[in-house]
Amino acid sequence: MATQKALEGKVSLITGASRGIGFAIARKLGELGSRVSICSRDPQKLESAATELKRLGISVFAKPADVTRPADIDSFVQRTESALGPIEIVVNNAGVGYFGPSQDASVADWDQVLDTNLKSVFLMTKAVAPGLIQRRAGHIINIASLAGKNAFAGGAIYCASKWGLLGYTQCVAEDLRAYGIRVSAVCPGSVATEFSPQGTHANKDTSKMLQPDDIAHAVAMLVTQAPQSFISEVVMRPTQKP
């Protein structure tokens, strides 16, 4: 798929990267030679993640940020480019969930999920698109979910955010294709991380579930594909049902 340093000299920005899928993606892209910029709302976990990446020899910039706030997004992008150089790869990974009947949810629950899972991607795209267009190259990868394709009880708000994310991704891909920019979605099923509907892992064999490194592998594939290729969506399931 790629040589060991296929991303040498490139700058990758990953949101929600202090743990789980985001951290695995940052580590994988760093191992491929990219300089990586990571953010999270938790300064302590972010610092720990940055320390671990540096220990692996990866060049990293880390900044606490709330991706639902335009000012935080703009500052994160600007500080990243000042520290590392022009951004070429963006992975919108930050996400939260609400799982329960929608009639029991509050407006605040709705706003938190939609702002984090969907609005933040719009904000980040607006922030990075001018530079990518100017350089006529780049990748925007949005970590979606099979919940963007499948309905389930208690998933109304989360599914709405991910269905919206897939629609947004497909339209932005058409907006930016003419500039040599690829916009893709990765849609995993349940991944063995701390993020999941409460209790859903209780009766599952987590060793059979998708792992964060599996998602990182898919992202690495997307950013190392041949110039004439455009993989617009990756759907991921475990080999065996947990």
Catalytic residues: 158
Phi and psi, residue 3, nearest 5°: -75, 170
CA–CA separation, 194 vs 176, rounded Å?
A: 34
Long-range contacts of 130-135 (CB under 8 A, 24+ apart): 131/81, 131/86, 131/87, 132/87, 132/88, 132/176, 132/179, 132/181, 133/176, 133/179, 133/181, 135/86, 135/88
Phi and psi, residue 205, nearest 5°: -85, 100
